[in-house]
Amino acid sequence: MQQQPLSQRGQKRREAILEAATDAFLQHGYEGTTLDMIITQAGGSRRSLYDYFGDKQGLFGAVIRYHADKLVEEIRSIDVTGMSAREGLTMLANNFVFALLELICNHFCGQSFLFISEVQCGTDKKEKLRPLYPGL
């Protein structure tokens, strides 16, 4: 498996594999997903997939870590300074649920969820999403 730091190109290739693997695992399940499906969608070679992840099980674990890290980063980026404990925890919980729904809908449903304007999320997140969802 990959031990050295990745170049920018290598990092993009790795992320493309992780995204393709996410789609395949969600659509076909672990048993129904083949490495060839992932390589076809992401591009690259079987060799690079094995270099990065070792095998299918390693890739599946990396997919879980990749999305867990993204969720944690989303939560860590929220500034709750000056909020009461209740407000801060509510903001964190709403953003966590929002991030989970976005992940599931983007990969599993093939589209973003339609009730995004109903979700109470931080102003920063709404501002980032406004170009994608004009009604927000």
pLDDT tens column, 69-104: 988 888 888 888 999 999 989 888 888 887 777 777
* Tokens describing residue 79: 């500034």
pLDDT band at 127 (very low <50, low <70, confident <90, very high): low
Q: How far apart are CA 85 and CA 91, in angstroms?
A: 10
Contacts of 111 (CB under 8 A, 6+ apart): 105
CATH number (3.90.180.10, 3.30.2270.10, 2.60.40.10, 1.10.10.60) of 1-65 reads 1.10.10.60
Task: Tell me what pLDDT residue 114 has.
Answer: 39
Domain boundaries in the chain?
1-65, 77-136
Q: How far apart are CA 41 and CA 86, in angstroms?
A: 44
Q: What is the pTM of this model?
A: 0.67
